[in-house]
Each structure stands twice: as structure tokens, then as C-alpha cells.
Chains A and B, each alone.
Chain A
Amino acid sequence: MLEELSKAGRYLGQTMRLMVGLPEYGTYVTHMENTHPGEPMMSYEEFFKERQEARYGGNGRVGRCC
């Protein structure tokens, strides 16, 4: 029961962050470790800045509805 609740809480946090364009940092780290071992990896702060720029920085993409 408690485990389920904490899992639901984690998903809720993930959902709220993704709503504003921030995917899981942990997933990124796992991905880099598994597929690009030894290559430079962004810190959380760099990751955050990179994602912020990607979401709002433009290139003409429309990210949300009216």
C-alpha cells in the first residue's frame, strides 16, 4: 500500500514536471550510462537549462494550444 502510494506520488511529480517540459533527469542519466558510457554527461543544472531552452527557445514550434 505505502509502496503504491509513493509510486503514485513519483508519477505525479513526473507528470507535473513534464507538463512544463522537463523530462526525468534520472532517465537521461540511465540512458547516457547504458548507451554512451564514458561520454560527457550534463549535470542536473545543465540539463535543466538545456530543456528550458528547447521548450521555450523557439524555432517556430508551437508547444501549447490557445
Chain B
Amino acid sequence: MNRLYSKMGWLALALLGAFAFGYIGLQRGESISAIWIVIAAVCVYLIAYRFYSLYISDKVLGLDATRMTPAYKYNDGLDYVPTNKNVLFGHHFAAIAGAGPLVGPVLAAQMGYLPGMLWILAGVVFAGAVQDLMVLFISTRRDGRSLGDLIKSELGPVPGVIALFGTFMIMVIILAVLALIVVKALAESPWGTFTVAVTIPIALFMGVYTRYLRPGRIGEISLIGFVLLMLAIVGGQYVQEHPVLGAMFTFTGKELTWMLIGYGFIASVLPVWLLLAPRDYLSTFLKIGTIVGLALGIVFVAPELKMPAFTQFMDGSGPVWSGSLFPFLFITIACGAVSGFHALIASGTTPKLLENERHARFIGYGAMLMESFVAIMALIAASCIEPGVYFAMNSPAALIGTTVDSAAQAVSQWGFYVTPEMLAQVAKDVGEHSIISRAGGAPTLAVGMAHILSSIGGGKVMMAFWYHFAILFEALFILTAVDAGTRAGRFMLQDLLGTFVPSMRKIDSLPASLVATALCVAGWGYFLYQGVVDPLGGINTLWPLFGISNQMLAGIALILATCVLFKMKRDRFAWVTIVPTVWILVCTLTAGWQKIFDANPRVGFLTHAGKYQAALADGKLLAPAKSAAQMQQIIFNDYLDAGLAAFFILVLLSILGFGIKTVLAARAANKPSTSETPFEALPASALPSA
């Protein structure tokens, strides 16, 4: 009887989901309520979790509740601790959710909300969550080892080193693009700049407090820090209106770039307890709180989606980023659908804390579904503001000019109704001088969030507060990522350089670490500067490179998972990873190819370089260059970016080659050939009681 009820329940859920999709699909030309998107997404998640993830756990992987886990085997109360599955879910989710799932969907909204929504849902169910679950499983069965180690032991040492190089380049690009988002949000905004700058002394105070005043009291200091942050937002308004202070905190993009580069260098050589750790407490708790708040807001306010389901920019002519729906939508939305970076997390601390192998389903697959929901919320937030405002905020100055009049005129010509008064009003509502050309996703998301959150609390009066709250929240965890990423990059670089210059490997050596840090900061700083001065907004160049690199890593992780399935002699089920691998490879390689060779100068780096070269030969100057030397610089950057895209393609192809070789060898073997740790039973006391 219970079985029958359960079946009927799932049938009802499936029908509800289908109805929501039907409703979304049939409402052409009219705006719909965001609640339909939420219903459709949640139904997809529940059904995928209940059926597909169970199929993968039971049939494909054979998760074994009686098998020893690293947490019990190496239990030390520190790194390896058997952890309650709900607690671990929170830990894992906090580690995978960041700026990525919030920014990608906002950028993708230029094609309308439907393409992005469909890719987020299909991508997470068949690719992203599968990847996270598989990597978590593979690492758990190999003593919780890291992705690089796993590739080394399953595919061979050479692909291991290649993957390490690839990972380092991803770090550089990610840090550049994240820093660019902060620069775009804070340029010419004294309120935002002041608020974010004040987080540094706040974090320093928190660091001293947790180190010396009351060591280890994270909860109370986070509360104190939170109150100070809210005061900083309020204070920001005062600063903005103050004639002297306002001017003091007004910076151009270039100035902010140099500050961020300096900050990144200093922050990553300071002791961790002083700045990095306390700011991580703030950013983590603020992130979780904001995600919960946004979810409640969307459900209660149920905002109308003003963005059309599709726009004419699906053909690739969009102003926010260029390139057609295939393949560029699939690399623009990485986090939220499938993110290679998660493979590093799923083979990091989480497998060492996993109490029971069966929990991998809930934590690997489940947490990724949650992150996908964050991406859906970001898409909703971007789609509930006026499309005209969205395009004015996200299009580069080269296309729409710098005044409300020129922007309104350009955007109206594309067919999105907007007036100069509307643009001025939005800027006034959120307490900024201008919202034109604030590309990068964060300000758009902030306007969307302010729109939703101010409907719950405070109305129009509070809109400026919520806007700066959203900017602060994003800048806070981006700065934490810049700091932590520079540190991680420094160690990777010391390791890589140590192969050639042994003295570079000494982690405790001050000169070696300063050199490696400087190289790392110079790496991302270079791309950041290039993005800030780019007349097309920088995002147009850097975001696709970031997407390609992130999906390249996803491709590597999925190839690894496929190899492991063949090595386990589960050939029958290998389609579970082969299908997403093929799709990711096709999208990433096509996008990489087009970024290099496409005939449209807005897409292809080489064509763009050719255009500048031809102009230079004729003795002409093209914007933004003001001298022949700057023209040369732009041409050099184009070749550099093309080289980077080619590098990512080569990494992916070589790993594919090694993967195919591994699969063929595994198929030729007459018994399983994995390198997982031999079966050992969990201690009786650790077996699940039910």
C-alpha cells in the first residue's frame, strides 16, 4: 500500500513538473511568474535525485554501505573524521557554491531566460551532478586522494602533470575574471568601494580577536563582524554624499586594478589567521545567508520575468558576450550546470569526512543540485529586471556610449524599450551615479536582488541598501577567492618550477615564496588589466576563456570517471559518463576553435589581431589604442589569448588520447584493473543501523 502511495506521489510530481514546463513553453510574448521556473526546476531535481542518482549509486557504481571509508580507516579527529551526512552536505555545498553560479546565468540571460534554464537543468542532471558524484566516489575508494593523484594513478604520470599545468592556468584565468567583476562593480562607485575597503580593517580586527582576545570563538566574532559590515554599508551612503570623502573613494577601473593587484600580493603573504581566515568566515556565512534569503524572496515575492524567453541574440550578435548559442551558451554557464572545479573539491576534504560510501549520493549528486538551484535563482534575478535596463547595464561603452541618452537610444534600437529617465531612476534607486556598462554580472544581479529583497523588506527606500549589500556580498567572497587562489597558485607554481629549479620548491624560503607569489599575481594581474582596458568590456574576452578552461577540467574529470568505469568492468554502464563527456568535449573544443579562428573579430582572437594589424599597416589607429605601441599591445594580447585557448584545447585532447588508451587497455584485460583500495569491512559499530 505504501509503495502505491509513493508511486502515485512521484507520478503527481512528474505531472506537476510537466505542467510547469508546459506553462512556461506556451506563454509566448507574455511575462510569466518566476514561480513556474522554480516549480519546474524543483520537480526536475527531485525526480533526477530519486531515480537517476539511485540508478548511478546502485547499478553503475555499486555503492557499498559495508565498505571501509577513509574517514574510519585514518580517523585522526582532524583531517579524517566520520561526519554526519547533513553536516557534511553543508560543508560540501559551501565549498562548491561561489560567484560562478551567480554570474554565468546573468550573462547568459542575454539570449532570454529559456536557453539558460534548459541548459542549467539538463546539464546538472546528466553532467554536473554525475561528475561530482563520480569523482567523490573515485576519491573515497582511493583513500581520499586528490584529482591530480587520481589521474596519475589511473591514466599515467604524463597526463597527471598535464592536468596540473591545466589547473594552474585555470586558477590564473579564474582569478583575473573574478577580480574583473569586482573592478566593474566598484569603478566610480564611492559607496561600494568604501564598503568593500572597510572589510579589510574589519577582518584584521576579527583575526586579532580570534587569535589573541578570545581564541577560536568563531560564532561570536562572525556576529560582531556581520554587524560591522552592515554599519559599513550604511556608512557607505554617508561617504558617497560627503563631498570630500566621496571623492576620496572614487576610483577609475585602472586605479582599482592596481589596488587589487597590490592587495592580492600583500594579502597572500600575510599569516592566514590575520586576514584570510576571518574574511572567509564572513563570506561563507554571508553567502549561505544570502542564498537562503534569495530563495525565500523568490518564493514569496514570485517576481514577474520581464526578459523574454528568447531574444534575437541567440544568433551570436549579442552585446554582452559574442558567439552563437551553440557552443557559447554551454561554456558561459559552467558552474550551476557542470563545473570542472568541483572535481577538485570532491577529491579534497569531503571524501576524508564521508562516514559511509552510500552518503556519496546525497552529498555528491545532491549538493550539485542545490548549486544548480542557485544558478536558477541568479537567472530569475537577472530576468526580473527590465530587459532594457539589463542591456544598458551589461553592454560595453563601445556599443552604447557612456550617457543615459546614448544607452537608451542604442538599447531601444535593439527592440528593448527603455528611456533615459528609466536608467537614471534605477541608478538613483540603488544609490549610484550611473549603472551604464557595469558588465560582469554582479551589479545586474545586485539590482535584481535589490528588486526582490526590497519587496520583502523596506520597499524603495531600502533598495540602495540591498544593492550595496549584494555588491558587498559578492566582492567579499571574490576577494577571499583572490587571496586563497593566489596562495594555492603560489604553491602549485613552486611545485612546477621546482622541477627545473630545485631551490624554488622550498616552501619555507622567503625569497622563493615571494618570487612565486609575484609571478602568480603578475599572471592574473596581466589578464585583469587587459580586461579592464578592453573597449568591449573585458568580460567578452575573459569569460569565454574562463568557461573553456573550467569545462576543460570537467572534461578531464569525466574522462577519468569513464576510464574508472571501464577499469571496473562496468562497460555496460559507461554511457552514463560517456554521454556528458562527449557533449562537454564537443562544446569546449568548438568554442575554443571559434575563439581562435572565427572570422568575426568579436569572436575570433586571430581575426581581431588581423584587423588591428591591417589598420596599423595603413597607419590608422583603432579604439581604444591611442598610439602605435598600444596597437601592438592589443595585437600581442590577441595572440596571447589565442595561445591560451589553444593550450586548453591541447590539454583536453591529450587527456582524451590517454583516456582512450586506458579504456582500450581496460577492455583488453580480462578482470577489473582499477587501483582502488582492496575491500575492507567497516567496523561493526560504524554500520548504519537501518
Partners in one complex: yes
- The residues of B that contact A17 with a CB separation of less than 8 Å are 218-219
B157 at the interface (CB under 8 A from A): no
Cα distance A45–B567 in the bound complex, in angstroms: 46
Establish whether residues B285 and A16, one from each chain, have CB atoms under 8 Å apart when the complex forms.
Answer: yes
Establish whether residues A66 and B218, one from each chain, have CB atoms under 8 Å apart when the complex forms.
Answer: no
Cα distance A47–B76 in the bound complex, in angstroms: 12
Partner among B218, B276, B550 whose Cβ is within 8 Å of the Cβ of A56? B276
Establish whether residues A48 and B215, one from each chain, have CB atoms under 8 Å apart when the complex forms.
Answer: yes
Establish whether residues B96 and A61, one from each chain, have CB atoms under 8 Å apart when the complex forms.
Answer: no
- The residues of B that contact A45 with a CB separation of less than 8 Å are 215-216
Establish whether residues A20 and B98, one from each chain, have CB atoms under 8 Å apart when the complex forms.
Answer: no
Cα distance A58–B91 in the bound complex, in angstroms: 19
Q: With A20-B284, A28-B77 in contact, do A52 and B277 touch (Cβ < 8 Å)?
A: yes
Establish whether residues A14 and B77, one from each chain, have CB atoms under 8 Å apart when the complex forms.
Answer: no
- The residues of B that contact A62 with a CB separation of less than 8 Å are 167, 171, 341, 344-345, 348, 485, 488
Establish whether residues B78 and A50, one from each chain, have CB atoms under 8 Å apart when the complex forms.
Answer: yes
Establish whether residues B219 and A13, one from each chain, have CB atoms under 8 Å apart when the complex forms.
Answer: yes
Establish whether residues A44 and B216, one from each chain, have CB atoms under 8 Å apart when the complex forms.
Answer: yes
Cα distance A25–B218 in the bound complex, in angstroms: 13
B484 at the interface (CB under 8 A from A): yes
A57 at the interface (CB under 8 A from B): yes
Residue ID in chain B nearest A51 by CB atoms: B78
- Which residues, 320 to 338 on B, are CB-close (under 8 Å) to A? 335
CB distance from B125 to the nearest CB of A (A): 19
B99 at the interface (CB under 8 A from A): yes
Cα distance A15–B92 in the bound complex, in angstroms: 10
Q: With A61-B488, A66-B174, A66-B335 in contact, do A27 and B94 touch (Cβ < 8 Å)?
A: no
- The residues of A that contact B310 with a CB separation of less than 8 Å are none
- Which residues, 14 to 66 on A, are CB-close (under 8 Å) to B? 14-24, 27-32, 35, 44-45, 47-66
Cα distance A19–B218 in the bound complex, in angstroms: 11
Establish whether residues B285 and A18, one from each chain, have CB atoms under 8 Å apart when the complex forms.
Answer: no
Cα distance A65–B342 in the bound complex, in angstroms: 7
B491 at the interface (CB under 8 A from A): yes
- Which residues, 479 to 527 on B, are CB-close (under 8 Å) to A? 481, 484-485, 487-488, 490-492, 494-495, 507
Cα distance A29–B81 in the bound complex, in angstroms: 12
Q: With A27-B81, A45-B216, A53-B272 in contact, do A60 and B492 touch (Cβ < 8 Å)?
A: yes
- The residues of B that contact A53 with a CB separation of less than 8 Å are 272
Q: With A18-B87, A28-B78, A66-B341 in contact, do A58 and B481 touch (Cβ < 8 Å)?
A: no
Establish whether residues A31 and B146, one from each chain, have CB atoms under 8 Å apart when the complex forms.
Answer: no
Cα distance A65–B276 in the bound complex, in angstroms: 16
Establish whether residues A57 and B96, one from each chain, have CB atoms under 8 Å apart when the complex forms.
Answer: no
| Majority SS at the chain B contact face | helix
Q: With A20-B280, A65-B339, A66-B100 in contact, do A54 and B79 touch (Cβ < 8 Å)?
A: yes
Establish whether residues A65 and B487, one from each chain, have CB atoms under 8 Å apart when the complex forms.
Answer: no
- The residues of B that contact A13 with a CB separation of less than 8 Å are 219
Establish whether residues A60 and B488, one from each chain, have CB atoms under 8 Å apart when the complex forms.
Answer: yes
Establish whether residues A23 and B84, one from each chain, have CB atoms under 8 Å apart when the complex forms.
Answer: no
Establish whether residues B87 and A15, one from each chain, have CB atoms under 8 Å apart when the complex forms.
Answer: yes
Establish whether residues B95 and A64, one from each chain, have CB atoms under 8 Å apart when the complex forms.
Answer: yes
Establish whether residues A64 and B484, one from each chain, have CB atoms under 8 Å apart when the complex forms.
Answer: yes
What interface size band does chain A fall in? Answer: 35 or more
Establish whether residues B215 and A66, one from each chain, have CB atoms under 8 Å apart when the complex forms.
Answer: no
B675 at the interface (CB under 8 A from A): no
- The residues of B that contact A11 with a CB separation of less than 8 Å are 84, 86-87
CB distance from B584 to the nearest CB of A (A): 17
B578 at the interface (CB under 8 A from A): no
Partner among B76, B98, B487 whose Cβ is within 8 Å of the Cβ of A66? B98
Cα distance A25–B645 in the bound complex, in angstroms: 46
B66 at the interface (CB under 8 A from A): no
Partner among A19, A59, A61 whose Cβ is within 8 Å of the Cβ of B90? A19
- Which residues, 69 to 103 on B, are CB-close (under 8 Å) to A? 75-79, 81, 83-84, 86-88, 90-91, 94-100
Residue ID in chain A nearest B97 by CB atoms: A65
Residue ID in chain A nearest B488 by CB atoms: A62
Residue ID in chain A nearest B495 by CB atoms: A60
Partner among A21, A28, A47, A58 whose Cβ is within 8 Å of the Cβ of B490? A58
B539 at the interface (CB under 8 A from A): no
B273 at the interface (CB under 8 A from A): yes
- The residues of A that contact B484 with a CB separation of less than 8 Å are 56, 63-64
Establish whether residues A24 and B81, one from each chain, have CB atoms under 8 Å apart when the complex forms.
Answer: yes
CB distance from A58 to the nearest CB of B (A): 5
Partner among A23, A31, A35, A63 whose Cβ is within 8 Å of the Cβ of B83? A23
CB distance from A16 to the nearest CB of B (A): 7
Cα distance A58–B619 in the bound complex, in angstroms: 50
CB distance from B297 to the nearest CB of A (A): 21
- The residues of A that contact B276 with a CB separation of less than 8 Å are 56
Establish whether residues B98 and A65, one from each chain, have CB atoms under 8 Å apart when the complex forms.
Answer: yes
Establish whether residues B339 and A18, one from each chain, have CB atoms under 8 Å apart when the complex forms.
Answer: no
Cα distance A39–B281 in the bound complex, in angstroms: 32
Partner among A15, A19, A47 whose Cβ is within 8 Å of the Cβ of B86? A15
Establish whether residues B78 and A19, one from each chain, have CB atoms under 8 Å apart when the complex forms.
Answer: no
Cα distance A66–B250 in the bound complex, in angstroms: 27
Q: With A52-B273, A63-B484, A64-B98 in contact, do A20 and B345 touch (Cβ < 8 Å)?
A: no
Cα distance A59–B493 in the bound complex, in angstroms: 11
Establish whether residues A61 and B84, one from each chain, have CB atoms under 8 Å apart when the complex forms.
Answer: no
Establish whether residues B284 and A31, one from each chain, have CB atoms under 8 Å apart when the complex forms.
Answer: no
- The residues of B that contact A48 with a CB separation of less than 8 Å are 210, 215-216
Cα distance A44–B75 in the bound complex, in angstroms: 18
B120 at the interface (CB under 8 A from A): no
Residue ID in chain A nearest B491 by CB atoms: A60
Cα distance A41–B54 in the bound complex, in angstroms: 42
- Which residues, 271 to 307 on B, are CB-close (under 8 Å) to A? 272-273, 276-277, 280-281, 284-285, 288
Partner among A23, A30, A56 whose Cβ is within 8 Å of the Cβ of B78? A23
Cα distance A59–B79 in the bound complex, in angstroms: 14
Establish whether residues B341 and A23, one from each chain, have CB atoms under 8 Å apart when the complex forms.
Answer: no
CB distance from B461 to the nearest CB of A (A): 32
Establish whether residues B91 and A19, one from each chain, have CB atoms under 8 Å apart when the complex forms.
Answer: yes
B632 at the interface (CB under 8 A from A): no
Of A20, A28, A35, A62, the most chain B CB neighbours within 10 A belong to A62
B178 at the interface (CB under 8 A from A): yes
Cα distance A9–B86 in the bound complex, in angstroms: 12
Residue ID in chain A nearest B100 by CB atoms: A66
Establish whether residues B100 and A65, one from each chain, have CB atoms under 8 Å apart when the complex forms.
Answer: yes
Cα distance A32–B76 in the bound complex, in angstroms: 8
Given A15-B87, A15-B91, 13 other A-B residues pairs in contact with their CB atoms under 8 A: A19-B90, A19-B288, A28-B78, A48-B210, A49-B215, A51-B78, A56-B276, A62-B167, A62-B344, A65-B341, A65-B345, A66-B100, A66-B335
The 8 listed contacts between A and B (C-beta, < 8 Å) are A11-B87, A15-B86, A20-B281, A28-B78, A45-B216, A53-B272, A63-B488, A65-B345
Closest 4 CB pairs of A and B: A28-B77, A60-B491, A48-B216, A15-B90
